[in-house]
Amino acid sequence: MNGTARDDTARLIQRLVDGQRAALARAITHIESGAGLAPRILGAIQSAIDKARVIGFTGPPGVGKSTLINAVIRELRKRKKSVAVAAVDPSSPISGGSILGDRVRMGEHGSDEGVFIRSISSRGHLGGLSATTAQVIDLMDAAGWDVILIETVGAGQSEVEIAQIADVSIVVCAPGLGDDVQALKAGILEIADVLVVNKADHPLAEQTRKQLTAMLALRRAERREVPVLSTVATSGHGVDRLVEVIEDQYRDTVGHTQVRGPIKRFRYLIANAAGRQLQERLTTSAAGAMHEMCARVSRGELSVDSAARVLLDDLLK
C-alpha cells in the first residue's frame, strides 16, 4: 500500500469513528467485498467498540420480523436512541447480492439521520446470518450507534448463530404455528431471550402464546425466565413493552456474564476462523493422514469420532 492509499484509509477510519454515515457505508462495502483494506480497518477500530447494544431478531419466515423491527426503530427513536440495522437478506440467484426486501419495509426511516439501515447478502451462508455480519456490527459499534438491530434471513430452525453475536436474542412467532412449533422446538427456541407472538390481533394469538409458554417449561430449570410477549407490529401495539423487556434482559445478561458485546463476537469469529483453517489443513497438509483414517474407518478399526480425535491430536501437536 503506497502512502496516498494509507492516508486515504486512515481518513476513512477517522471519519468512521467520527460517526460519518458515508464512511460507515464505504467501510462495510470493503468488509463485504473482502478487499485488502478490511483487516486494517477492523484492526484500527477495536479500541472504539463496546458501546452499542446488539439485539437480534429471528424466527420462521412470514412472522413479520421486518415490520416489527420497523416498529422497534420507531419506539427507540422516541427514546432518543440512534439505531443501526443489519438486515441479512437472501442472496439474489443472479447477482449474488441481497434482495433488499427489508429496506422496502423500513423505508419510512430513510430520511432519519438517527437511523442507518444496511442490507447484507447472506451469499448462501447458513445459520441465518452472513459471513461478515459480526464484522459489520463492529463497524456500526465503532461508528457510535446506540443500538444495533440484526435481522436474520428467516430460514427457520437453523438460525441459531444469532445467539453467538447478539446481546439479546428475540425469537418472533406468528399465531397458528402448526408445524412451525416443531421447528422451534428443534433448536431456535433454545436461543430465545425473549419470545414475541406478533400479529397478536389474530384469533389464534392467545393460544399460540400459551403453547410457547408451555414449551418453555420443558427447558432446563437453570435457564433464566424467558418473557413471552404479544405485539401487533403494524399498529405498534405492545412494542413499547417489548423495548422495555429488551432493556431488562440486556441488564440481566450483563449481570450474569461478561461474555457479551465484542468479546462475544470475537469468540464467534475466532471459532469460525479456527474451523476454516482446520478444514484447510485437513484437506491439504493432512490429506495423507485423512486417507489413512478413512481406510481404517472403512475396515471397522476406528469409529468416525475416534478417527477425528486422532487427526486433531496429530495436527495440534
Q: Within 13 Å of residue 147, how many CA atoms lie on the same side as its CB? A: 22
**Is the predicted pLDDT of residue 159 greater than 60, yes or no?**
no
Closest to 76 (Cα-Cα) out of 246, 298, 207, 275? 246
Q: Lowest mean pLDDT: which of 212-216, 218-222, 287-291?
A: 218-222
**Is the predicted pLDDT of residue 218 greater than 80, yes or no?**
no
Residue 234 is predicted with a pLDDT of: 94
State whether residue 148 is helix, strand or coil. Answer: strand
**Is the predicted pLDDT of residue 61 greater than 60, yes or no?**
yes
By the 10 Å C-beta count (0-12 exposed, 13-18 middle, 19+ buried), 308 is classed as middle
pTM of whole model > 0.85? no
Mean pLDDT score of the chain, rounded to an integer? 81
Domains, in order of start, for the chain: 1-48 (no CATH), 50-257 (3.40.50.300), 267-315 (no CATH)
Per the CB < 8 A criterion, the answer to whether 106 and 66 are in contact is yes
Per the CB < 8 A criterion, the answer to whether 134 and 265 are in contact is yes
Could you read off the pLDDT of 94-127 as tens digits, one per residue? 444 444 545 555 667 778 899 999 988 765 444 4
Which of 112-121, 185-194, 253-262 tops mean pLDDT?
Answer: 112-121
Q: How far is CA 289 from the centre of its chain?
A: 36
State whether residue 250 is helix, strand or coil. Answer: helix
Over its C-alpha atoms, the chain yields an Rg (Å, rounded) of: 22
Residue 235 is predicted with a pLDDT of: 95
* Single-letter code of the amino acid located at 288: G
Given pLDDT bands bounded at 50, 70 and 90, which one contains residue 128? very low
* Single-letter code of the amino acid located at 224: R
